[in-house]
C-alpha cells in the first residue's frame, strides 16, 4: 500500500505545511513542547495524524538533530512509536472509542510516571466524535497539564470551547496541486513506474486535491502499466464529462448525440446520465460566466462552446434534467427531444411529462368512503347464534377502547373482534398483543375494510 509505505516520517517530508512545521519546530527548540496541548484541524487526508506522530517522535527522540530538529526514527523512543509499543505515546481512535469508560481508562494511568518523558502524550484521532461526557473527563487533566494532548479533528466546532481554549490550534491546510503532483511523481519514480505529468495532474484534479486518495488511485492505475492520459481517462471514466457536454451542445440535433447517449446508457443508469447532463449544463454556464471550475483544457473549450450556443438556457436544461425522478431510458430520451424542440423554437413551452392527477391516496380513500356509505345502507341480516359458542362480535375491553377513539362516522360500522382481525391479517402481523392503542386502531380499520370488501 503506497499510502502507508510513503507516509511522511519527518517534518521535511510533509507536503504544503511549511508554516505549521516552522511553529512546531520553534516549540521543540525552546523545549516547551510538553507545556501545551495541541489541536490539529483540517480536511480529511491533509496530514493531521501524520503531523501528530512526527511531533510526538520529535518530542521524545533520544538522538534529535539539534539543527534540523527532525526525529531520527532509529532510537528506542522513535521505534516504539513507529511499532505502536510506546508506553509514553498513546494513540486512540475517538470514532470507535468515544465513550466515558474509554477516556476514563486513559486518565487512570496518569498518576504513574513514565520513563524517558516528563508526562504522557495522548493523540486522539477524530476527536470531534468524543461524547460530551468524555470531553468533560479529559478537560481537567488538560487544564492541569498532567498530559500533553494532541487532538486531530475535521470538525473543530464540535470540540468544547473549554478544551479548545487550553490548546494551541493549528489549521492543516490542503497542499497546492503542484505540490501534490511533485510528491506523486516522486513516488512513481521510487516505484519505477513511467508516467505522464499531465496524467498525474488529471488524477489530482479528479481526487479533489486529496493526497491520500490520489496515491491510492495512482497505485491502482499503475497495476495496468504506465500512467498515461488514456489509462487515467479509462480508469477514472474522465471521458464522460466530454460526452455529456457534447450531448448538451447538440441537443437541438438528435442525430448528433443519440449514439453518444446510447454509449453512456450502456455504462450508467438513466438516472446517473440525467444527473451528468444536468451537471454538464450547469458547468457550461459557470465556465461561460468565468466562475471557478475543475475541467481540463479541452473540456473547458467545449464548455465555452456550449455556453456560446445556449447561453442562459443552460440553466433551463440543467433544471429540467435534475427534476427527473428515477427516469427510464425512454423518459430521458423523450425529455432530451422535447428540450431540443423547445430550444429550437418549435415548442413554446415544455409539455408536462407526468400528468397532474389527484393523489393516489386521496383517490383510494374516496373510493373506500363510497363503499362504506353503500355498506351502511344495506339492511343487516340477523344471524343465528349457537349458544354453545361465544358471540364472535362480542366486544372485548380493548375493542371498546378502540371504539371510543374512532371517528363518529366509523363508529357506526359494525366492529370486528380480535379473532376475526387475526384471521384476516397476514402471518407476519398476527402478533396483535404488542400493538399500542394507536397502532391497534389503525390495524382495526384496515382489517375491517378488507373484511367488508370481500366478495
Q: What is the pLDDT of residues 47-72, one digit of tens each?
A: 899 999 999 999 999 999 889 999 99
Q: By three-state DSSP, how is residue 44 classified?
A: coil
Report pLDDT for 358: 39
Sequence spans of domains, the chain: 2-171, 177-236, 239-344, 391-455
DSSP 355: -
DSSP 227: B
**8 Å CB contact between 324 and 332:** yes
Average pLDDT of span 78-87 = 91
Low-confidence winner among 132-146, 355-369, 373-387 (lowest mean pLDDT)? 355-369
The overall average pLDDT reported for the chain is: 79
Out of 111-120, 138-147, 378-387, 423-432, give the one with best mean pLDDT.
138-147
**Whole-number Å distance between alpha carbons of 4 and 216:** 10
In this predicted structure, the answer to whether residue 299 has a pLDDT above a threshold of 70 is yes
Place of cell 469508560: 101
CATH class of 2-171: alpha beta
CATH of 177-236, one of 2.40.180.10, 1.10.8.60, 2.40.10.10, 1.10.10.10: 1.10.8.60
**Whole-number Å distance between alpha carbons of 209 and 296:** 15
pLDDT tens-digit profile of 88-114?
A: 999 989 888 888 888 888 888 787 777
CB atoms within 10 A of CB 76: 14
pLDDT category at 446 given cuts 50, 70, 90 is low
Average pLDDT of span 293-302 = 76
E strand or H helix that includes residue 49 = helix 48-60
**8 Å CB contact between 232 and 204:** no
Largest CA distance in the chain: 106
Average pLDDT of span 390-406 = 52
Amino acid at each position: 500500500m503506497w499510502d502507508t509505505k510513503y507516509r511522511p516520517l519527518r517534518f521535511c517530508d510533509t507536503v504544503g505545511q511549511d508554516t505549521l512545521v516552522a511553529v512546531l519546530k520553534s516549540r521543540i527548540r525552546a523545549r516547551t513542547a510538553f507545556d501545551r496541548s495541541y489541536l490539529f484541524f483540517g480536511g480529511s487526508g491533509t496530514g493531521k495524524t501524520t503531523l501528530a506522530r512526527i511531533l510526538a517522535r520529535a518530542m521524545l527522540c533520544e538522538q534529535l538533530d539539534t539543527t534540523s530538529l527532525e526525529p531520527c526514527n532509529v532510537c528506542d523512543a522513535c521505534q516504539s512509536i513507529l511499532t505502536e509499543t510506546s508506553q509514553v505515546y498513546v494513540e486512540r481512535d475517538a470514532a470507535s472509542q468515544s465513550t466515558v469508560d474509554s477516556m476514563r481508562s486513559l486518565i487512570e494511568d496518569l498518576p504513574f510516571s513514565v520513563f524517558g518523558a516528563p508526562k504522557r502524550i495522548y493523540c486522539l484521532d477524530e476527536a470531534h466524535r468524543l461524547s460530551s461526557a468524555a470531553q468533560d473527563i479529559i478537560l481537567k487533566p488538560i487544564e492541569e497539564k498532567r498530559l500533553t494532548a494532541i487532538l486531530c479533528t475535521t470538525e473543530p466546532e464540535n470540540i468544547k470551547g473549554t478544551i479548545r481554549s487550553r490548546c494551541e490550534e493549528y489549521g492543516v491546510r490542503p497542499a497546492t496541486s503542484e505540490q501534490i503532483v511533485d510528491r506523486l511523481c516522486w513516488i512513481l519514480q521510487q516505484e519505477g513506474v513511467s508516467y505522464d505529468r499531465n496524467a498525474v495532474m488529471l488524477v489530482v484534479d479528479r481526487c479533489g486535491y486529496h493526497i491520500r486518495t490520489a496515491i491510492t488511485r495512482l497505485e491502482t492505475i499503475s497495476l495496468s502499466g504506465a500512467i498515461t492520459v488514456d489509462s487515467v481517462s479509462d480508469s477514472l471514466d474522465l471521458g464522460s464529462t466530454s460526452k455529456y457536454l457534447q450531448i448538451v451542445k447538440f441537443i437541438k440535433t438528435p442525430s448528433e448525440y443519440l449514439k453518444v447517449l446510447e454509449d453512456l446508457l450502456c455504462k450508467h443508469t438513466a438516472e446517473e446520465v440525467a444527473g451528468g447532463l444536468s451537471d454538464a449544463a450547469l458547468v457550461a454556464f459557470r465556465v461561460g460566466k468565468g466562475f471557478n471550475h475543475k475541467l481540463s483544457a479541452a473540456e473547458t473549450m467545449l464548455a465555452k462552446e456550449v455556453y456560446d450556443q445556449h447561453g442562459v438556457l443552460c440553466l433551463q436544461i440543467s433544471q429540467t434534467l435534475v427534476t427527473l425522478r428515477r427516469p427510464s431510458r425512454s423518459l430521458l430520451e423523450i425529455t432530451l427531444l422535447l428540450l431540443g424542440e423547445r430550444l429550437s423554437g418549435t415548442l413554446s413551452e415544455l409539455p408536462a411529462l407526468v400528468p397532474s392527477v389527484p393523489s393516489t391516496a386521496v383517490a383510494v380513500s374516496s373510493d373506500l368512503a363510497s363503499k362504506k356509505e353503500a355498506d351502511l345502507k344495506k339492511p343487516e341480516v340477523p344471524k343465528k347464534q349457537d349458544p354453545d359458542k361465544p358471540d364472535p362480535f362480542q366486544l372485548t375491553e380493548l375493542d371498546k377502547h378502540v371504539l371510543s377513539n374512532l371517528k363518529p362516522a366509523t363508529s357506526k360500522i359494525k366492529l370486528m373482534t380480535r379473532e376475526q382481525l387475526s384471521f384476516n391479517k397476514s402471518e407476519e402481523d398476527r402478533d396483535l398483543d404488542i400493538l399500542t392503542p394507536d397502532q391497534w386502531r389503525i390495524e382495526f380499520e384496515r382489517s375491517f375494510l378488507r373484511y367488508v370488501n370481500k366478495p
